[in-house]
C-alpha cells in the first residue's frame, strides 16, 4: 500500500478554502481568548480548539477526510489508529455519515478518550504504543478491512486543520507567531499552510515535550529523525517516536522549527490556563502555551493553539495540584 500513496504536495489555497466551506456546519469556529498576564509577558492569545464537539482540533481534519471519501470507500466503513483524539474525530464524522468506524487504539490512552470513542460508536482494538506506531507507518493492521484514514499523513485531513489558520488571521490580523503541538505533524502543517499562503512573514513553530521530540531533532539535522530516547508521559497526544519522512516533506516548507519544552513547563501551562481562563487543556493542548511563555518568539501578538482538552479529570487535578518546580 505504501507504494501506491500519492506523492506529497503542498496544499493549495483553493483546497483549503473549499475545506473550510465543507466542514463549516460540523465544527465550531473556536474563539481566540487573550491571556492577560500583565507587564513583562508576551501578548498571547489562546485558540481554544478544546471547545470542538470532540474537545480536539482533530474534528476539523476528520470531518473533511470523511466528506471527501467516495461512495465505494464509505460502503467499506472506515478505520484509523489513534491515542484518542483522531479516533474521536473520525468516529464522530463516521456517525454523521452513517458508516461504521473501527479504531486501533493505544491501550494506555486516558480512559476518558477510550470511553468517548466507544460512545461515538467506534469499535476499539486496544494495542501497545509500539504496535500502533508501526501500524501507522505500514497503514495496515491484521484483521481489519475498510477504508483507512491516516490520522496525520492525509492530504484531506491536513486541509481540514488548515481552516484554523483563516480564523486566526481574521481574529488577530497582526499576529507575528503561532505555536502548535507536534505529534504526527498534521496540525502544525495544516495551520502553517494557510498562514504562510496569506501572510508568509508569520513564524510558525511546532512544540514537543522533552521526552518525545523527533521534529526538533529533524529540523536540527535537516532530515526526518527517530527520537531514540522516547518516553511515554502525560503528554499522550503529542511527541512521536519518529517523524515520518512524508510528514517531514510536508512540514519543512511551511514550518519554521520545533521548540522543546519540559514536562514541568507543560504542567505550569495547564495550571495557568485553568487559573486565568478556566480552560481545561490536556498535556498536548498546553505545549503551545508553554512555548509561548518562553519568550523565544518575542512580544507578539502570539497565538498558542490549545489543541485539545481530553484528559481524565483526576489526572488533570493531580498534574496541576502543586506549582511546577
Residue 67: which CATH number? Answer: 3.40.50.1100
Q: List all residues 6 or more positions away from 222 whose beta carbon is below 8 Å from its beta carbon.
A: none
pLDDT for 322 equals 67
Write phi, then psi, for 78 (nearest 5 degrees): -125, 155
The residue among 133, 148, 163 that closes a domain is: 148
The CA–CA distances, whole Å, from 65 to 10, 18, 74, 93, 245 equal: 17, 12, 11, 9, 21
Is there a domain that residue 325 lies in? no
Greatest CA separation for the chain: 58
pLDDT for 32 equals 97
Structure-block grid coordinates of residue 55: 474537545
Domain extent for 206 = 2-56+155-320
Beta-strand runs (E) in 26-98: 32-35, 44-48, 78-82
Judge contact between 48 and 30, C-beta under 8 A. Answer: yes
pLDDT for 1 equals 42
Q: Are residues 223 and 235 in the same domain?
A: yes
Q: HEC profile for 114-126?
A: HHHHHHCCCEEEE
Q: Are residues 46 and 173 in the same domain?
A: yes
The CA–CA distances, whole Å, from 168 to 33, 51, 263 equal: 11, 15, 27
Is there a domain that residue 63 lies in? yes
pLDDT for 312 equals 86
Q: Are residues 173 and 259 in the same domain?
A: yes
Q: Are residues 175 and 257 in the same domain?
A: yes
**Cα 238 from Cα 157, distance rounded (Å):** 17
Q: Which residue has the cell 502525560?
A: 234
Judge contact between 310 and 88, C-beta under 8 A. Answer: yes
pLDDT for 64 equals 98
pLDDT in tens, 65-120: 999 999 999 999 999 999 889 999 999 999 999 999 999 998 888 888 899 999 99
Q: List all residues 6 or more positions away from 180 whose beta carbon is below 8 Å from its beta carbon.
A: 187, 188, 191, 204, 205, 206, 207, 288, 305, 307
In order along its 325 residues, the chain shows pLDDT tens digits of: 444 788 999 999 999 999 999 999 999 999 999 998 988 889 999 999 999 999 999 999 999 999 999 999 999 999 999 988 999 999 999 999 999 999 999 888 888 889 999 999 999 999 998 899 899 989 999 999 899 999 999 999 999 999 999 999 999 999 999 999 999 999 999 999 999 999 999 999 999 999 999 999 999 999 999 999 889 899 988 988 999 999 999 999 999 999 999 999 999 999 999 999 999 999 999 999 999 998 877 778 999 999 999 888 888 899 988 664 4
pLDDT for 107 equals 87
**Cα 42 from Cα 44, distance rounded (Å):** 6
Q: Are residues 64 and 129 in the same domain?
A: yes
Judge contact between 295 and 40, C-beta under 8 A. Answer: no
Judge contact between 125 and 153, C-beta under 8 A. Answer: no
Number of domains in the chain: 2
Is there a domain that residue 97 lies in? yes
Amino acid at each position: 500500500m505504501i507504494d501506491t500513496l500519492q506523492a506529497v504536495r503542498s496544499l493549495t489555497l483553493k483546497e483549503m478554502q473549499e475545506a473550510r466551506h465543507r466542514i463549516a456546519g460540523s465544527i465550531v469556529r473556536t474563539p481566540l481568548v487573550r491571556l492577560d498576564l500583565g507587564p513583562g509577558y508576551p501578548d498571547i492569545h489562546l485558540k481554544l480548539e478544546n471547545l470542538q464537539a470532540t474537545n480536539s482540533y482533530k474534528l476539523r481534519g476528520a470531518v473533511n477526510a470523511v466528506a471527501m471519501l467516495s461512495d465505494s470507500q464509505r460502503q467499506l466503513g472506515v478505520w484509523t489508529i489513534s491515542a484518542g483524539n483522531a479516533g474521536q474525530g473520525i468516529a464522530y464524522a463516521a456517525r454523521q455519515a452513517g458508516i461504521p468506524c473501527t479504531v486501533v487504539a493505544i491501550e494506555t490512552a486516558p480512559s476518558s478518550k477510550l470511553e468517548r470513542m466507544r460512545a461515538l460508536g467506534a469499535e476499539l482494538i486496544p494495542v501497545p504504543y509500539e504496535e500502533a506506531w508501526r501500524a501507522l507507518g505500514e497503514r495496515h493492521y491484521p484483521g481489519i478491512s475498510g477504508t483507512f484514514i491516516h490520522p496525520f499523513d492525509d492530504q484531506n485531513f491536513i486541509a481540514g486543520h488548515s481552516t484554523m489558520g483563516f480564523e486566526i488571521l481574521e481574529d488577530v490580523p497582526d499576529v507575528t507567531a503561532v505555536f502548535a503541538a507536534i505529534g504526527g505533524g498534521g496540525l502544525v502543517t495544516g495551520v502553517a499552510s494557510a498562514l504562510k499562503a496569506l501572510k508568509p512573514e508569520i513564524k510558525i513553530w511546532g512544540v514537543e515535550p522533552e521526552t518525545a521530540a523527533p521534529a526538533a531533532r529533524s529540523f536540527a539535522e535537516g532530515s526526518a529523525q527517530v527520537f531514540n530516547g522516547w518516553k511515554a508521559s502525560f503528554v499522550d497526544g503529542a511527541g512521536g517516536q519518529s517523524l515520518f519522512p512524508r510528514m517531514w516533506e510536508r512540514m519543512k516548507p511551511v514550518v519554521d522549527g520545533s521548540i522543546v519544552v519540559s514536562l514541568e513547563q507543560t504542567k505550569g501551562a495547564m495550571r495557568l490556563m485553568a487559573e486565568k481562563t478556566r480552560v481545561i487543556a490536556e498535556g498536548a493542548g498546553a505545549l503551545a502555551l508553554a512555548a509561548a511563555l518562553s519568550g523565544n518568539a518575542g512580544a507578539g501578538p502570539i497565538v498558542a493553539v490549545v489543541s485539545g482538552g481530553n484528559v481524565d479529570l483526576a489526572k488533570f487535578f493531580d498534574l496541576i495540584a502543586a506549582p511546577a518546580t
